[in-house]
Amino acid sequence: MRSPAYALHSQNSMTREQVLGEPPVELAELQKHSEYRICKGQSDPRGWPVRTADDRELGKISDLIIDEVGLNARYLVCTFALEGRRVLIPTGFARFDNRGRVVHLDFITRQDLQRLPTYKGLPMSADEQRNVETALTLREPVETGEPLITRRGPEHDESVL
**pLDDT at position 147 over 70:** no
Confirm whether 62 is domain-assigned.
Answer: yes
pLDDT for residue 7: 52
What is the DSSP track for 25-79? PSEEEGGG-TTEEEPTTS---TT-EEE-TTS-EEEEEEEEEEETTTTEEEEEEEE
Confirm whether 127 is domain-assigned.
Answer: yes
Confirm whether 18 is domain-assigned.
Answer: yes
Number of domains in the chain: 1
First to last CA, the chain: 15
Domain that holds residue 39: 8-137
Confirm whether 153 is domain-assigned.
Answer: no
Confirm whether 32 is domain-assigned.
Answer: yes
Confirm whether 143 is domain-assigned.
Answer: no
Confirm whether 88 is domain-assigned.
Answer: yes
Confirm whether 154 is domain-assigned.
Answer: no
**pLDDT at position 107 over 70:** yes
Give the pTM: 0.73
d(C-alpha 131, C-alpha 139), whole Å = 10
- Write the CATH number for 88: 3.90.50.10
